Each structure stands twice: as structure tokens, then as C-alpha cells.
Chain A
Amino acid sequence: MGLKFAGDKCIGCKLCQLACSAAGEGVFNPLLARLFVSSYYEGPELKVQGRVCTLCGTCVETCPTNAITFAEGQLSFIPENCDVCGMCIAVCPEQVITPRENGVALCNLCGGSPWCIKWCPHEALVLEEVS
């Protein structure tokens, strides 16, 4: 099961990002979240964007030191294997892997019960089967 973002239901409240950063880092900071949503006006249009980990596996395949693994439906980051090369950040197509002091932060689906989904008030974020 992976995260799925439905832009037509997103109101841009960022509760998902705030909950994610608080759960993962003990701080409310949207920049430290493992997902990104945005809703903004541009001229006569309302734009909605969302980026979530789709479990595409590119980071696992790219990591040269096996610091990112995929097992039992979830990604894991192994800090002691990481040499902070930044390649996973560069290749992530959703740009949801972010740097930390001695490694990176990535979405591990909160162990199977993601806070972002629990906090999304209008089901713009759901879990769905991924291949």
C-alpha cells in the first residue's frame, strides 16, 4: 500500500505536512515533511500541487551503499550505511526525500498508519495498492 494524493479534494491546509514533521522530527515545520502539498492562486486560476512517495523504488535502486531498503511494504533508512552522497535526493521523482545532518528523511508510511492520512480532513490523501 502506498500514498495517493487526490488534488481535487485538497484544500491546501497543510495539516498533513505539519503532522508529518511533528511525528518525524518533533517540530511543526512543513519544510521537514516527507510529502508536499500546495494550493495557491495564479492569475485567474487556483492551482493545487501534491507530491508524495509513490514507492517507485528509484531511491532504493540508486543508493550506492544500501542505506535505503524496501521490506514489508515500507521504505527504511539505515543511517550507518549512508555516506551522505545525496543521490537519492537527486533522483526522487517526487522530491520528497530531504537532507538531514547525517543522512536523509524519507517516508516510511509511519510504520503502516500514516499521520498525514489521519490528519487529512477531506480524504485528499489515501492509501492504495501499488505494484
Chain B
Amino acid sequence: MHSYQGRVLRVNLGENNAQAEPLNMDWAAQYLGGKGLGIKYLYEEVPAGTDPLSERNKLILMTGPFTGTVVPCSGKLAIISRSPATGTILDCSIGGHFAGELKFAGYDAVILEGKAAKPAYLYIEDDEARLLDAGELWGLGAHRAEDVLREKHGPEAKALVIGPAGENLVPMACISSEYYRQAGRGGIGAVMGSKNLKAVVIKGAKGLRVTNAERLLERLQEIMHQDTLTEDNLWAYTDGTPMIVELSQTTGILPTHNFQDGNFPGFESINADAIREARVGKRACVSCALGCGNFTRRGASVVEGPEYETLALCGSNCGIADLEAIIAFNKACDDLGLDTISVGNVTALAMEMAEKGIHDFGLRFGDIQSYLEVPGKIAVREGIGADLALGAKGLARRYGGEDMAMQVKGLEFPGYEPRGSWSMGLAYATSDRGACHMRAWPVANEAYGDLDPFTSEGKAQLVVELQHYNAVKFSTILCDFWALSLDTLAEILTLVTGKTFSTTDLEKIGERTVNIARLFNVREGFTAKDDTLPERVFKDALKTGPTAGRLLPRAEYDKMLKEYYILRGWQEDGKPTQEKMQELGL
């Protein structure tokens, strides 16, 4: 297949050894790249029971066949490992320009193994890969560290960096690039920290050779204008994800006060209009025609963002309606290397614990001063930060309040209230890495769309289809903001690789990817009992707004889950059947 470099750089950090090896093209044909291919490599190479923070765990940086080309919205990199937050499979995607540079350096992937003897960073320039001393970088924020690396290796060098949170193995630590792009979830930054690896820096001069470039340029340009730069997608450019605040508020699913409600009176201070007023620039990932990044400034605070998830989790969910404070909180998290979703979620939980008299961490809904101190404390595990760094599940386990710890498998909820969008509850519960909005986003069809949000009818089918669709997109890799059809995706993949792919082929690849992720989790001991939601969703009704009085009845949830397993060809205990595995070639 064209559009692959056909090479993987395998780096053993402990032995200070880097070797290029051929990409397994049989696997590439079955899983494409990104999420799917990365999970396949991890499944084959990391044995069951591996401690996520041990040197036996691996960190895989994976591109896809679209990376480095002009396929619109193809600038993302997949990073795959076993999650220290959940113990599940973990694949994150990060924007910016690193993925393209990796491809231009002549690699499809980098596999990081072992642990460096002392703090180090990996420098890759085409065929040269060296482990360099990171003594002076260790302890620096991700932003300053990236500045130092750019000064040293030139402005064209691209970097993946961790902040102090990753160094301190915080299970909500992320990996950052270009200040404001993050592989956010599941503690992927802690895996990097556990390897004593502060950064990966890359410069590529080789480029990606393609056959029939002119034909590619002509057809893809038509597709970009007819299918990408359209009303369905340009919201990403005009407003970006903050436009979702209004949608969630009007449909009653905007997380408020630790998911006690779906209706936030201060929403107008954090919606797309507010972000537009604060916006001073726009920025895109490489190859992205949409350019969703909003660079905003309020007072002394600047950030690229805040994205919807941050506005919801660190804004309404913490009772914070002050945009300047949210920008400052967002910037601090990005620099310290923390996932804003998990930090916002656990902060809100701690606020509610004080409200309910379970434990007083000195945090209150709406209190800006104490709120702004949280990221710094979590990143170094100091004071209340040592407790909050446990995450919502760990914090509730220690102090009580497990029913109101809004997480699945140890990963905190993102910004969609499942009691007002029932299929989102199923999507959270069955996502391969815990509560995630990127494995399936059925709110678009349900709460924001035409489907009745308060019925289980047809929802299992919807979630299954969306999970397949997203699994394929994240394997090619495309950004989820481009709402293209599988037919168009098949056409582009055929054009770019030279191998014919049909829509059915892609559906099968999506299903295979979901299933190998499931097999990884099954191997780690996860079963049907883990595919559930916090008790609050089943028993506490929302209080105000359009979803007042709503909950997700457990019987309806159980019905959706049962139907989901049947559609998937999984047993009642949540394991894929032999027939299904054979059908998918697993």
C-alpha cells in the first residue's frame, strides 16, 4: 500500500538503542494505522498484567496512511499504551504538527520501550535517533520545556512534552505539543514520565513520496471544497467546540455542580459568543482546512481554547462562570501537563464532597481563588493535590461518595450528561478506555439531533455504528471534526493507498478495532460488570431546566447494554464470542 513509509523506529530507552524495522504491512491492511494498528502492536507486545507504570509497558506513537498528505484534517497522531488511570487499553490522539513531521522523517511509528536511566529526551532527525540528557528540562512546565527544545533544535523541530504532572506519575497527566495540543486522557503523560522521558523531538526532511501526485491533488482538492469546507463542518472554524455550550445548555445536558444538574445559569459567560469576544487568533493542525483552534485572551490570561470539554468540566461543573479564570485554569493545566476533563471533574467532586459534608478540601462551587490553586497542587501531589491526583474513583474510594464519582473504569466523565442523552451513557460505559466522548458521540443524533433522548429504543445499534465509524477515522487518522461519509472515506483511502477499500471493508476494520481493544481489556480482567455507570445516573434525577426530573432508569440501561452485546456478538459476560473473533480474523 502506498502512503506508508513502511518503517517503525523501535527505541529501547534503558539500553539507549534505536533501530528501524519494517512496519507489519499485514497488520496495516487489517487495522490501517493510528488507533487500530497501535492497539494491535500493543496487544501483541505487552503481556497481560503489565503494570502501566513499569518499564515493561510500552508507549507507541502511530501515524496513519493519511498522515503527512493533503487529506484534510489528517494531522493527528495516535499514542497508545496501557492506561495507569484505568488499566484498560489507552489510545489518545494529539493534534499539532508532530504527526506529519514523524512521517517526513521516514517513519510510520515509534515504539518506546524500557526506561531511561535518568531524565532524558529522544531526538530524532531522519535516520538519526539519540537519547539526550533532560536534566535541565526535568521539573519545567511543558511550555518552557518546549521553548528550550526549540531554541536548541531550531523552530522547525516538533516536540511531544510532559509537564511536572507526568514526571510525578499523576494518573491524569497528559502529553502536550505546541503548548496547547494534548493527548489528554488516561494518564498517557504518566507513562512517559515513568520512562524518565521528558520529550520526543523530531525533524524530518525526507518527505512522503506518492504516486500520481497531480491526481491526488486534483481529487482531494475537490473533496475539500465540496465535503470539508461546508456548513456541516465550518462550525469548527467559525466557533470551534465552544458552540456546544449552547447546545448542551438548551438540551439540559451541560454538566453542572458535579453532574447534579444539566442546566447552568451562568452559561452565557462561557459560550461561543464569549469565546469569540476573547479570541485573538486562529490556528490549525497540519493538513487541517478547518482550523478549530481559538487563541483567546482575557486580562493577563491566554490559551488556545478553552475547548467545550474544558468549559463544561472546569466551568459549569465547578460552578465557575468567569471566563478569565477558566482560561487561566486551562493554561495552567496545559503547562503542568494535566487533562482538563479529569481535573475539572475531580475538582467538582471535591467541591460536592464539602457540600455534602463528606470531606472538606477547602473547595467550594464557584470559589475562584481555591479553584485556581488546584492544578498546581495536583501536578506535584501537594496538600489536597495528593488526594485529588487519585482521580474521581480513587478519591471517592478513600473518602466516600462513590455514587457521585462520575467516572467509568476510573476515567472521569467528559461534558455530556447521560440522563439527558441515554445513548451517551451506553457510549461511556462501553468505551474501550472508560468514560469517553470520542469513541462514539451519539448526543449529535440524540440530545442535539432528532432522536428521542429518553428511550433505549435503537440506541445500542446507534452506539455500535458510531463506534465503528470513529474507530476507522482514528485509524486512518482523521480528526473527528470532519463529518465525512464512510463512502467518501473509502474513496480517499483507495486513492491514497492504491488498494481498493469499500465501505463494507471500513465497517469491518472499525469492528475489528473495537474488538481487539475489547480483547485487550478482557485479558486484563474487565468484564460486563465494568460496563456500567455511577449510581447517580440511575437514581438521582436532574433538578432544573429541560431535563428536570430525568434519570436513566437502570432497567432501560440494562436493556441497552444487553442489546449492545447481542449486536456485537459478545457473550453476556462481555467477552467476544469465538464466532465473532473468527469472523474478524482475530
Residue from A13, A23, A28, A32 in contact with B284 in the complex, judged by beta carbons closer than 8 Å: A13
Asked if B206 contacts A38 (CB within 8 A), the reply is no
Q: How many A-B residue pairs have CB under 8 A?
A: 103
Residues of chain A contacted by B280 (CB below 8 angstroms): 46
Asked if A27 contacts B217 (CB within 8 A), the reply is no
10 A-B Cβ contacts within 8 A? A14-B100, A14-B287, A22-B213, A27-B207, A28-B68, A29-B208, A30-B104, A43-B147, A121-B228, A121-B291
Task: Identify the B interface with A (CB < 8 A).
Answer: 68-70, 72, 75, 97, 100, 104, 147, 155, 178-180, 205-210, 213-214, 216-217, 221, 224, 228-229, 237, 280-291, 293, 295, 297, 302, 304
Within A1-38, the residues touching B (CB, 8 Å) are: 11-15, 18-19, 21-23, 25-32, 38
- New A-B pairs, 15, CB < 8 Å, besides A12-B283, A19-B70, A29-B205: A18-B70, A21-B207, A22-B213, A23-B214, A23-B217, A26-B210, A26-B213, A27-B209, A29-B104, A29-B206, A31-B207, A41-B178, A41-B180, A119-B70, A122-B237
Q: How far is the CB of B440 from chain A (nearest CB, A)?
A: 27
Asked if A11 contacts B207 (CB within 8 A), the reply is no
Bound CA span A9–B454, Å: 43
Residue from B147, B206, B217, B286 in contact with A13 in the complex, judged by beta carbons closer than 8 Å: B286
Task: Identify the A interface with B (CB < 8 A).
Answer: 11-15, 18-19, 21-23, 25-32, 38-44, 46, 48, 115, 118-119, 121-122
Contact flag A121-B229 (CB < 8 Å), given A23-B217, A28-B68? yes
Asked if A41 contacts B70 (CB within 8 A), the reply is no
Residues of chain B contacted by A31 (CB below 8 angstroms): 104, 205, 207
Contact flag A22-B217 (CB < 8 Å), given A29-B208, A44-B302? yes
Residues of chain A contacted by B288 (CB below 8 angstroms): 11, 13
Bound CA span A31–B291, Å: 22
Residues of chain A contacted by B72 (CB below 8 angstroms): 15, 121
Residue from B155, B210, B229, B297 in contact with A22 in the complex, judged by beta carbons closer than 8 Å: B210
User: In chain A, what residue has the closest Cβ to B280?
Assistant: A46
Asked if A13 contacts B291 (CB within 8 A), the reply is yes
Asked if A121 contacts B289 (CB within 8 A), the reply is yes
Q: How far is the CB of A55 from chain B (nearest CB, A)?
A: 23
Residues of chain B contacted by A21 (CB below 8 angstroms): 207
The 3 closest A-B pairs by CB, nearest first: A29-B207, A11-B291, A121-B289
Asked if B283 contacts A11 (CB within 8 A), the reply is yes
Contact flag A46-B208 (CB < 8 Å), given A13-B284, A15-B289, A39-B283? no
Contact flag A18-B237 (CB < 8 Å), given A28-B207, A31-B207, A40-B155? no
Residues of chain B contacted by A122 (CB below 8 angstroms): 237, 291
Residues of chain A contacted by B69 (CB below 8 angstroms): 18, 28
Contact flag A14-B286 (CB < 8 Å), given A26-B210, A41-B180? yes
Most buried by B among A12, A28, A115: A28
Residues of chain B contacted by A42 (CB below 8 angstroms): 147
